[in-house]
Amino acid sequence: MKQQHGYRLSQSLRAFRTEMNEGFYVSSRGADVLVSSELLFRLKVDQSVFGWTLFQVSLEKVLGITTTGGSTLSSDPNSGLIAYPAGCVIVLLHPETNKQTHIINTSRKTFSAVAFSHDGKHLVTGESGHLPCVRVWEVDGAEVAKVQSHKYGVSCVSFSTNSCYIVSVGFQHDMTVSVWDWRKASIIASNKVSSRVLAVSFCQDNSYFVTAGNQHVKFWYLDISKERRVNSTVPLIGRSGLLGDHKNSVFSGVACGRGLMASNTYCITSSGLLCLLNSSRQLEAWVHLKTAAASCLSITDSLVFCGCADGVIRVFNSSNLQYISTLQRPHHLGVDLTCAVPRHVGSDL
């Protein structure tokens, strides 16, 4: 009987891995089962059919993460909620309580990008795989819109600052950048890109957005009110940033300015440069981050935060790129913080 039960459990687990978003059933005598190194499920007795004991499975906690860059992690500035992908699951982490809620992709495709709307009410996600969708979700997990405009995968997604439009950029082999009105599920503007794109950011007044990537910083202008036609997609008008000697760099992050600095655009290179482009798209200033690598950045009205190697975060003034501080590195697992030796913040720049 034990061997028979083990066989049934093994068969059910295989079926569960294949149909995890449809059936949610598995046979077991235990209360919890660790299906993989990433996902922890809670099993609840449901009913008995033909001698099988069926258990309903609900996802309790994700132990892993499949984040590869700044475009695959997002936070809601209103609530502090953090969103990141783990395979075909989006984890919504509440940092203050360390509690998780989850959004599961019914298409079983791996999430490749995620971003919050500026009001914090919705999430937009991109997928990898053949004919991926860009999907909009409420934070409770309900899918409210989707569109399919890419062929091979979505590398970046972003809401406009008024949350009316979404921009999505395809993988390198897709070479497509699209803007769509997600409430009407219609693409309103589209064009091709010739480089791999790693990041995207909308400006404060929604008149343009900026993409950044491999030897690439480009400004895309939306003049929808004048050029939009009924049942037609408007070609996006793009203008390259004037990067001077840094035109061959790989730009891993981009953010449009806010407040008094709204006309500025900030980029970082993977080699560790923070760059400022002015309203004429011209590289005006740059500063070395003194790190082996840089991968992402975030801004406020007055500050620029740069994510660097080894958990280092450099902080700069957004008006003149003057260095302000270095945030403390996260401690190693197992370290007793009560015995740690105080260290001067910012001493390593």
pLDDT in tens, 60-103: 888 888 877 788 899 998 889 999 999 999 999 998 888 999 99
Supply the pTM of this predicted model.
0.79
- Domain ranges in the chain are 67-240
Distances in Å between the Cα of 336 and the Cα atoms of 106, 174, 269, 345 are 42, 48, 35, 19
The 10 Å CB-count burial string (b at 16+, else e) for 202-230 is: bbeebebbbbbbbebbbbbebeeeeeeee
Which residue positions in the chain have pLDDT lower than 70? 1-56, 224-233, 333, 337, 340-349
pLDDT at 349: 59
And the tokens for 50? 């033909």
pLDDT in tens, 116-127: 999 999 999 999
Nearest to 261 by CA among 285, 291, 226, 233: 285
Among 3.30.70.250, 3.80.10.10, 3.40.50.2020, 2.130.10.10, what is the CATH number of 67-240? 2.130.10.10
